[in-house]
Chains A and B, each alone.
Chain A
Amino acid sequence: MTDELAPTWEEVAHRHGRKIYNFAYRLTGNPDDAADLVQEVLLRVRKGLPSYQPGSFDGWLWRITRNAFLDGIRKKKRRPESALPEGDHHSLGSSPSPDEVLSSIRLSDDVQSALLKLPYEFREAVVLCDVVGLAYDEIAEATDVPVGTVRSRIHRGRKLLRGMLTWPI
């Protein structure tokens, strides 16, 4: 999204708060951490909006979000922990039918656990792509790496997930 004018703080909160919350939730598996991040990001957005230069708003917002998230991790000096549950994974078809969607929801805990096992760079790229829904160039801007690196990280993250979840096809 490229905006000509900066939105208000209130608009950012309502348009993006949910995505920010889910970004942090999927990265940490922890709702408290997710709530903390939303508060911190919105505070930074409010402070930063007056100096925001029209351009890629999503890139700007997610760079703030990502930096706030990393700052939070540095402060807490801890890493999320979650055991990877054993097997009993359901098969997914090659395109999502209603049954497959339900199966996927049952699988969501397993997917979450597997996400937490990924190295941070891969996890971040995968979450920004598949949970937040950013394009590669927006992820590159948010994470301050070249687009080629983003592409590589997303693929390597998905490939690791595939190995962890060992879905039959």
Chain B
Amino acid sequence: MADLIFDPDAHGELFSAYLDGQLTPAEVVVVSELLDGDEDAIKEFLALRHVRTSLRLLPEFEVPAALLPDGHLGDRLSAYLDGELVTLEHRRVTKHLVDCSDCRAELQELDGARIAVRSLPGVDTTMTGEIAATPAPPRRRRIVAGGIGAAAAAALLVGLAVGGSGDPVFVLDDLATHHIARASAEPGFAVLPAAIELAAP
């Protein structure tokens, strides 16, 4: 290989791929031979490395935050209705449902949700207005079983479906507290899965 002659057209591509770590071991040997004292080859190699480095140092733009919503719930909706989400995840889903009409609609389409929602007693339709007027309290600790949270969110859905309008600002903790107190005493929640019942304090 000592008399290997550098040809920019034939070998330049090897240099690019070498810089990217995409060569076979045999090709790496060829590149090493070419760069061993051949000034033209070294010049070509360095030039390509400059280009590559400059491209990789291009500043990365931040994607506008508005383009990255919290996402939608997909198959987590079923787990949510089945009371299979742990408390933290459950709260995330509940929060998302408050904000996302798409997921609320999807939730309502699930058969299990229909059964639960239809069985719920009526909810005070002025609730949304009351909550909207409630200032956000400071963050505080809340000890609630996940299943009860599911019941609270289901009740929330009914409230939104019946009386929701505009863009009310919900305070999740207060909302949950209201509904937990109400839901735990109401017979409609008996249709919820046993896991939720068992989770109740």
Interface residues of A (CB under 8 A from B): 8-11, 13-14, 17-18, 20-22, 25-26, 31, 34-35, 38-39, 42, 46, 49-50, 92, 94-96, 101, 104-105, 107-108, 111-112, 115, 126, 129-131, 135-136, 151-152, 154-155, 158-159, 161-162, 165, 167, 169
CB distance from B90 to the nearest CB of A (A): 15
Q: For the complex, would chain B's binding face be called helix, strand, loop or mixed by DSSP majority? A: helix
Residue pair A111, B55 in contact (C-beta under 8 Å)? yes
Q: Which residue of A lies closest to B13 (CB)?
A: A155
Bound CA–CA A169/B48 (angstroms): 11
A-B CB pair tally, cutoff 8 Å: 122
Give the interface residue-count category, chain B: 35 or more
Chosen A-B contacts, 23 in total, with CB atoms closer than 8 Å, are A8-B74, A9-B74, A10-B70, A10-B72, A14-B68, A18-B60, A35-B67, A38-B67, A92-B50, A92-B54, A104-B53, A104-B54, A104-B57, A105-B59, A108-B57, A111-B55, A155-B16, A158-B48, A159-B48, A162-B47, A162-B48, A162-B51, A167-B51
- Min Cβ gap B155→A in Å is 25
Q: How far is the CA of A115 from the CA of B58 in the complex (A)?
A: 11
Bound CA span A17–B65, Å: 10
User: Which of these, A20, A22, A151, contacts B22 with CB under 8 Å?
Assistant: A151
Interface members, chain B 30-68 (any A CB < 8 Å): 43, 46-64, 67-68
Q: Quick one: closest A residue to B53, CB to CB?
A: A96
Most buried by A among B12, B47, B53, B58: B58
Of listed A13, A14, A49, A107, residue having the most chain B CB within 10 A:
A13
Knowing A130-B56, A155-B13, A167-B50 are in contact, say whether A136-B22 is a contact too (CB < 8 A).
yes
